[in-house]
């Protein structure tokens, strides 16, 4: 036996390296039968999405979905842009409007209208060629009407500057909503009640409360905001100060006297210990919120409804409310709040596939799995995001979830009531840069690293303004 083993080892050493290792190689991906999907999902949400993938693959034998979690939303955008340049783009990807504005330049974004109402059927056949099942590609009008209107309308080409230049009509449907979130005001109700206060409904009320809260709890920071960019953009919307414009000749409006005065006031509040933000703190400020005010925590935290679970704590009685509004000079309060959460964009022709039309159709069928109300309910419960289909709210499991008193359910219940307050900024090539730059401007002005005037001027210059 030993001689046989030695002989085999000697033979293996004599073989070429490629001969020895071939059995461990991963088979090449058949891109003509594999739908590549980029997302920013973490482990738990990947597990949920695997349910939709399994359902799709069971319905359509021979087809596979390769789900690739790329990182955060910005990382998804960067990889898609890079892959488009190389012709290696995915078939489907998480997206935000400013991402799609950049993808449009390649004309690889699929107008989903050609599949939305298609009555063509995908037929499944057995080994003898008999049709055993068939699935209609498109939606019925009733199913289309089931999409939350505000979410669905975000996908139209008219929301994008220069769409016609790249071959799209004004009615082109460039994205479909997956799940959505918004910003909410999480608050420490014990701290507020101890000084006789109620949750602030306007920014004026919140700033007026800060001195009282700071005097009672010297170690606390009254307000933490998880996104500098969202704060800047929302205040521009609430006050009509100007952030960006769809006008190709005048995209960047944020460098103005109103935003300058606001940033100067924020710097004063920061010096008094009233404010921190994600970049200032070095992490999401929910970690401060859950500590409690006696241990140097927050009284208020503004963060995503989709991240409600990170605000959960047993250290005090918490509450959830809409973010504060801005009082207008003529009296009314503007309660506009930003719309967030991923949509889905289909990209055509990646990896030089020869079955482009077939691949698009099957990618659309996978989209339908992700947007199926039952799956949407399951995903929304796990993620804390709001579903994109109205009928999800009639599903018993989701109704039970929404009736709960946990922070994820409470946040979702508050968020769903705010859909008429949502706004979306114009999307154009450079809009993602504007978002980054105004976030930086707020941070620099807040912390005193730059004057408000300098911070805004630099942000404007970095966006290409002159």
At residue 466, the pLDDT reads: 59
Average pLDDT over residues 401-407: 94
- CB neighbour list of residue 354: distance below 8 Å, 6 or more residues apart: 32
Outline where 130-243 has alpha helix (H).
141-145, 149-153, 189-194, 203-216, 228-239
**Can you give the residue ranges of every domain in the chain?**
34-180+341-406, 181-339+421-462
Domain 181-339+421-462 fold is D-Maltodextrin-Binding Protein; domain 2 (3.40.190)
Q: What is the overall mean pLDDT for the chain? A: 92
CA gap 177, 371 in Å, rounded: 8
CA gap 121, 437 in Å, rounded: 47
Q: What number does CATH give the domain 34-180+341-406? A: 3.40.190.10
Beta carbons of 222 and 298 less than 8 angstroms apart: yes
CA gap 43, 147 in Å, rounded: 27
Residue 15 has pLDDT above 50, yes or no: no
**Residue 389: strand pairing partners:** 147
CA gap 160, 403 in Å, rounded: 38
Both tokens of 215, joined, read 């005097």
Both tokens of 24, joined, read 């461990």
Residue 324 has pLDDT above 60, yes or no: yes
In the three-class reduction of DSSP (H, G, I as helix; E, B as strand; rest coil), residue 135 is classed as strand
- Least confident among 19-28, 236-245, 346-355: 19-28
Nearest Cα to 74, choosing from 221, 192, 227, 234?
227
CA distances from 224 to 73, 232, 244, 369 (A): 22, 14, 25, 38
Residue 92 has pLDDT above 50, yes or no: yes
Give the confidence band of 359 by pLDDT, cuts at 50, 70, 90. Answer: very high
Beta carbons of 90 and 69 less than 8 angstroms apart: no
Same fold, 34-180+341-406 and 181-339+421-462: yes
Nearest Cα to 108, choosing from 86, 136, 89, 127?
89
Give the confidence band of 26 by pLDDT, cuts at 50, 70, 90. Answer: low
In the three-class reduction of DSSP (H, G, I as helix; E, B as strand; rest coil), residue 48 is classed as helix
Average pLDDT over residues 408-430: 91
Note the pTM of the prediction, 2 decimals. 0.86
The string of pLDDT tens digits covering residues 176-191 is: 999 999 999 999 999 9
Beta carbons of 84 and 341 less than 8 angstroms apart: no
Q: Regarding predicted confidence, which is higher, 204 or 21?
A: 204
């Amino acid at each position: 036996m030993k001689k046989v083993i030695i002989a085999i080892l000697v033979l293996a050493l004599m073989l070429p390296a490629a001969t020895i290792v071939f059995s461990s190689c991963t088979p090449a991906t058949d891109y003509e039968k594999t739908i590549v999907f980029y997302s920013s999902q973490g482990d738990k949400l990947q597990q949920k999405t695997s349910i939709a993938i399994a359902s799709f693959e069971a319905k359509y034998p021979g087809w596979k979905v390769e789900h690739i979690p790329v990182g955060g939303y910005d990382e998804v955008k960067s990889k898609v842009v890079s892959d488009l340049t190389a012709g290696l783009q995915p078939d489907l990807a998480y997206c935000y409007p400013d991402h799609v504005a950049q993808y449009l330049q390649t004309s690889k974004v699929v107008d989903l209208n050609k599949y939305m109402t298609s009555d063509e059927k995908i037929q499944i056949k057995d080994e003898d060629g008999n049709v055993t099942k068939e699935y209609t590609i498109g939606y019925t009008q009733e199913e289309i009407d089931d999409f939350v209107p505000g979410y669905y309308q975000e996908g139209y080409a008219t929301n994008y500057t220069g769409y016609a230049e790249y071959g799209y009509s004004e009615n082109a449907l460039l994205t479909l909503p997956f799940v959505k979130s918004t910003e909410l005001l999480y608050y420490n109700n014990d701290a507020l009640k101890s000084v006789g206060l109620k949750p602030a409904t306007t920014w004026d009320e919140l700033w007026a409360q800060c001195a009282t809260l700071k005097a009672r709890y010297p170690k606390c920071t009254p307000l933490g905001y998880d996104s500098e960019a969202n704060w800047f953009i929302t205040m521009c919307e609430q006050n009509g100060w100007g952030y960006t414009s769809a006008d190709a000749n005048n995209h960047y409006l944020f460098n103005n006297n109103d935003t300058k005065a606001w940033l100067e006031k924020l710097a004063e509040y920061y010096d008094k210990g009233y404010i921190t933000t994600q970049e200032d703190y070095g992490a999401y400020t929910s970690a401060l919120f859950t500590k409690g005010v006696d241990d140097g925590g927050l009284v208020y935290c503004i963060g995503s409804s989709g991240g409600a679970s990170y605000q959960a704590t047993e250290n005090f009685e918490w509450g959830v409310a809409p973010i504060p509004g801005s009082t207008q000079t003529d009296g009314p309060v503007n309660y506009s709040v930003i719309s967030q959460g991923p949509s889905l964009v289909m990209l055509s022709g990646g990896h030089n596939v020869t079955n482009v039309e077939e691949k698009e159709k099957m990618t659309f069928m996978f989209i339908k799995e992700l947007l199926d109300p039952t799956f949407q309910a399951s995903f929304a419960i796990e993620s804390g995001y709001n579903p994109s289909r109205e009928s999800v709210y009639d599903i018993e499991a989701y109704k039970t979830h929404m009736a709960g008193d946990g922070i994820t359910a409470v946040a979702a219940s508050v968020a769903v009531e705010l859909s008429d307050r949502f706004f979306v900024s114009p999307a154009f090539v450079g809009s993602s840069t504007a978002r980054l730059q105004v976030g930086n401007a707020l941070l620099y002005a807040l912390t005193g690293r730059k004057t408000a005037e300098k911070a805004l001027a630099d942000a404007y210059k970095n966006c290409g303004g002159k």
